[in-house]
Structure formats: C-alpha cells, structure tokens
Amino acid sequence: MFQSIIFSGILTQMPRDFKISLNAVIVFFVFALLISGLLRGQSKLPDQTAQAAAVPYKNAFFDPDLKHPWNQLYGLLFIRPAWDGKLYGLDEMDQLYWRDSTYLLEGDLHQKAVLQLEKFIHSGAAGLIKNPLKRALLQRMLWALFDNLANHEARDDSTSLARERRDLETRLVRIMKAVALSDGEINGLPGNYQREVDSKQYPAAFDSDHADTPFLPGGFFLKSDWVEVVDLRSDVVAPVHVRGIDGRSEFHVFMRLPSGHTDTVAYLAKLNDFQPHWITDWGKMVSPERLKEDPTPPPSVGRPPWVNPNLPQVPVLTEFALVRRANLINAKGDSVESPLVESVQIRVIRDLSKSVPQSETFVDFSLDQTKLMQGDGGLVALKKGQKVFERVLEQNRIVSGDSLEKQLSGTSAWNGQFDLMDSCFNCHQGEGIGTMNTYTQLFREQTVRSPELLERSNPGDSDYWKSQRYDWGLLQAYWFAQ
C-alpha cells in the first residue's frame, strides 16, 4: 500500500505524456513479473514423497474394503505419484523402482513406510487373507522392492541411506516370510496361461491375412509342436531378461517350424553341426561387389565376429516364443518356479529378405493381476504403439535417476515408458535365425557352445544365477535370522 501511494504521488507531479509512457513501463513490468511467476510455478515439480506421505492412495486391489491393511500397504509402497501429476503403479506387473530410486527412503514418507510395515507385521495382517494367489502376488511385489533396495546398497560404496534401506529390508522380509506358501500351494496356483488359451479370447494361431492380430497358441509346456531350446553349458538362456528382473522369474525359450515338432528338432540338430558359426574376415561376409563398395565394415554392421551368412536358415512362418513364469519363495525359504505366467512374447518370421521390424510380427501378452484375481487368465495383449514400463529395456539404457521423480530426458515429457513393440527390435536384429539371440549369444566365445534340446523336468536356469547374487544372500540372512 505504501509503495502504491508513493507511485501515485510521483505520477501526479509528472507531465501527462510522460505519465502515459511510465504507466506502460509499469504495466509491462508487472506483466513480466506475473508471467515469470507463472512459469516458475509450472516448472516447479511437486514433492511426490511429501504428497504420498500425506495422502493415502485408496484402492481395492486385494479386497473390496478400501481400508483393508493389504490395500493400504499396496497403496503406500506401489502406487506412486509422478512429476507429471499422474499416479502410476495401479496394476503394474513389475514394481516402479529404478536403480537410483530414493522413493520411500527420505523424510516423512520413509517414516510412514516403516510405521505401516510395523503395523502390518504386529497386527497379524498377513493372516487376514488366506487366498494363495493373493499371498503369492503380494510376496512377488515385496520381493521386487527388496531387491531394488539391496542392489542399490550393493552398488553404493557410501553409507548414504544405508540405515533407511535396512529399515525397510528387514520388515519386507518378515512379511514375505509370513505370506509364503508351501510347495503344494505353489503348485496349486492357477495355470493362468492355459486358462487364457481356453477362454479363446485370442486366436490360437497366426493368420497371415491379419498379421497384426494378437494370437495366443497353446502347448508351450505340453511337448507339442513347440520345442524348448536351452543351453546345457550356460547358467541362463535369456540372460538379458533374467538380469532385467533380478532373477525373480524363469524364462523359457521356444521355437517351432511351420512343419511341426520333428522338423524343428531336425533343424536344431543341423544348426548345431554347422561350422563355422562365426566369421571374423569381412571379405568372407560379403560379395566381391559389396567388398568394392565397403572395403572395411561400416559401423552399421558392428564389430566381428559376425554370424555366418551361410547359416542354415529357418523357413518363413517360423515362430519364436519367450515365456516368463514367476518364481516364489516357499515356506522353507527356497526359490521355486510357479505356474504363474507373467508374460508371453511371440515373434513370427514373415519375410527373410527384409530386416526387422518389416519382416516380423511381434505380439506381447502381459499379466494383469486384477483380472487374474477375478478368475480370468489375466494375460492381456499389448496394443500397437502402447507404451509400457519394461525392466529389460530400462536396464539396457543408461538412465540415471528415477523417471517418476523427475524428467530424465531434457525438456521432453518422458516418464520411463517404452514402445515395446518397436524397442524389442533394437536387440533382435538381422534376418530369421539371426534375430534369435538365444542362438547368437551362445556363439560369441571361441569355443562353440551349441544350443541343445532338453526335456526339462527340474527347476529352471535362473535359480543358480540368483543364488550367486548379493540380494539373495542378504534376503536369506534376514529370512533365517527371524
């Protein structure tokens, strides 16, 4: 007010023309200040942890009662506000924590998380739900959060937030142990993949006339036309995928030729006997004409060794499949593979004269946990162009920070989601069998490590891989100390 009186007094003593110009300057100055403040307000990111600590995220994920302890725990740990003002994690197959996430570790939200976990433990809330499926789903979520905390701890040489991580880790394991199932209960979990196939919501076979239509074949684990491909000398067959979710799932690689099981096995035997699998001489990779144009390998083909261009090729309409099944920790503290299928990815070779993605059809089915708990198969086909959070893609890109806490790519509004259908082709390149990384990755060493067939009856490959990890050792220490 005092400043307004002074301005008014000054203006009354000035010539009229000067007052008009000065008024214009003042109006412009005030307008600039308003715009500046508005822009600052728009660019200021909300404090997500303070928001989450103050606002309980109501949900009916586990029970119709919004105040049910399981719903409250789910809302606090797995539903996250983001810098763009949206809530994420309402029903994600994989929990939204990144390698540098500090969410739940600082300020009031950390204290609230500790108190909520304590309340859940000491009130006996784990026993409120007896349904084995719901207990399994809660455990796999808590396990993912535990691994994120433990792996960050393993990478961090400093003691920053170490106590806060331990505060959460010890309590997460107590709940994981409290909801653990027996082996019989795990084996009795619904075979949701077969349930989805039986529903006939999706066609059972690929249709060339409708190449973009998702299809879901049966028979992956029934010794049908699909042949499972494993490597007897390797810890894991799909190491990039296993690392992407820290070994908490088992990955099965299948393939089938259009002519059936016998020809698929015969092709794999031929592939195994073929020599050499790899070529290091660029002159043997290309025709004389191409060699004149490119006397040295262009950057687009990468560095040697290269897949032998004379490699026995698969026929058109050969299909590759990657099936992911959840591992669970049983009541004895062992990691075991469950019947729960979390995702199915299928690629169909349509054309051997073109590179991906023009030469292939790619379909992806991911687990919708809500549909699964409602009695459906819960496997939902990804739509073309749909963006998702994907652990395998995230770990292969150099991303620092938490994509829900702040924008990570300059001025673009990126929240950490990928177009999976396009992104998968970045790793599965080439033509035909060359796109099958289960084959190509096994021959990078000088000693040939050939894919072999195994009628698998014992647990999968990721168990041993996981047993060598820091996160598993830490979890076991907490599990058996309680």
**Do the domain assignments include residue 474?**
no
User: Alpha-carbon distance 282 to 421, whole Å?
Assistant: 32
Q: What is the mean pLDDT of residues 60-86?
A: 93
Distance CA 362, CA 378 (A): 19
Q: Report the pLDDT value the prediction gives residue 72, as an integer from 0 to 100.
A: 96
Q: Do 222 and 175 share a structural domain? A: no
pLDDT in tens, 104-143: 998 999 999 999 999 999 999 999 999 999 999 999 999 9
How much of the chain exceeds pLDDT 70, in percent?
75
pLDDT digit string, tens, across residues 144-157:
999 999 987 666 55
Q: Is 232 helix (H, G, I), strand (E, B) or coil?
A: coil
Q: Express each pLDDT in 409-433 by its tens digit.
A: 554 566 677 776 666 666 666 677 8
159 in the same domain as 206? no
Instruction: Tell me the C-alpha distance between 150 and 155, whole Å.
Output: 9
Across the range 388-414, mean pLDDT stands at: 62
149, 152, 156, 158: CA torsion to nearest 10: -20
Q: Measure the CA–CA gap between 458 and 374, rounded to whole angstroms.
A: 31
Listing DSSP states for 348-367 in one string gives EE--SSS-TTTTEEEEEEEE
Listed residues 164, 184, 204: the one ending a domain: 184
Please give the radius of gyration of the chain, using alpha carbons only, rounded to the nearest integer: 28
Q: How confident is the model at residue 35 (pLDDT cuts 50, 70, 90)?
A: very low
Residue 466 lies in a domain: no
Over the stretch 310-363, which tens digit does the pLDDT of each residue have?
A: 888 999 999 999 999 999 999 999 999 999 999 999 999 998 877 666 778 889
Q: Based on the number of CB atoms within 10 Å of its own CB, is 58 exposed (0-12), middle (13-18) or buried (19 or more)?
A: exposed
Higher pLDDT, 457 or 174: 174
What SS3 state is found at 43? Answer: helix
Residue 477 in any domain: the answer is no
User: Is residue 131 a contact partner of residue 375, using CB atoms and an 8 Å limit?
Assistant: no
Residue 327 backbone phi and psi in degrees, to 5:
-90, 145
Q: Are 279 and 346 in contact (CB under 8 A)?
A: no
In this structure, are 35 and 54 located in the same domain? no
Peptide bond into 357 cis (omega under 30): yes
Same domain? For 109 and 199 the reply is no
- Output the CA angle 70-323-245, nearest 5 degrees: 55
Residue 176 lies in a domain: yes
**Count of beta carbons in the 10 Å neighbourhood of residue 241:** 21
- For tokens 């006996």, the residue is 124
Helix (H) or strand (E) holding 147: helix 132-155
Compute the distance between CA of residue 113 and CA of residue 119 in angstroms, rounded to an integer.
10
Among the listed residues 398, 415, 396, 397, the one whose alpha carbon sits nearest the alpha carbon of residue 406 = 415
Q: Are residues 37 and 58 in the same domain?
A: no
**pLDDT tens-digit profile of 273-302?**
888 878 889 998 888 898 999 999 988 777
DSSP 27-38: HHHHHHHHHHHH
Rounded to the nearest 5°, which phi and psi values hold at 284? -90, -5
256, amino acid identity? R
Residue 210: the pLDDT is: 92
3-class secondary structure, 323: strand
Residue 462: closest CA among 265, 246, 159: 246
Classify residue 468 as exposed, middle or buried by CB count within 10 Å of its CB (0-12, 13-18, 19+): exposed
Measured distance CA(45)–CA(81) in Å, rounded: 11
Q: Are residues 137 and 234 in the same domain?
A: no
What integer pLDDT is reported at residue 34 of this predicted model? 38
Chain centroid, CA 110 distance in Å = 25
Does residue 161 contact residue 106 with C-beta atoms inside 8 Å?
Answer: yes
Structural domain includes residue 352: yes
**Residues 414, 354 share a domain:** yes
| Cα distance between residue 113 and residue 121, in whole Å | 12
Are residues 119 and 230 both part of a single domain? Answer: no
406 with 388: CB under 8 angstroms? no
Enumerate residues 6+ apart whose C-beta is below 8 A from 89: 78, 79, 80, 95, 96
Which residue segment(s) compose the domain that 64 sits in? 48-184
Distances (CA, A) of 480 to 139, 177, 205, 470: 17, 10, 47, 16
The amino acid that residue 221 corresponds to is F
Same-domain pairing of 168 and 224: no
The answer to whether position 171 is within a domain reads yes
Q: Angle at CA 389, nearest 5°, toward 388 and 392? A: 115
In a domain, 254, yes or no: yes
Cα 339 to Cα 348: distance, rounded to the nearest angstrom: 25
What's the confidence (pLDDT) of residue 451? 44
State whether 260 and 362 are in the same domain. Answer: yes
Tell me whether residue 232 is in a domain: yes
State the amino acid at position 211 in one-letter form.
A
* One domain for residues 312 and 404: yes
- Written as one letter, the residue type at 138 is L
Domain end among 184, 209, 242? 184
pLDDT of residue 245: 85
Gap between the Cα atoms of 449 and 234, Å rounded: 8
Task: Render pLDDT for 225-278 as a digit per residue (tens, 0 to 9).
Answer: 899 887 655 567 777 788 888 899 999 999 999 999 999 999 988 888 888 878
**Residue 178: enclosing H or E segment and its boundaries?**
helix 162-178
Total number of domains in the chain: 3
Distance between CA atoms of residues 107 and 207, nearest Å: 55
Of 168, 184, 200, which marks where a domain is finished? Answer: 184
Does one domain contain both 324 and 412? yes
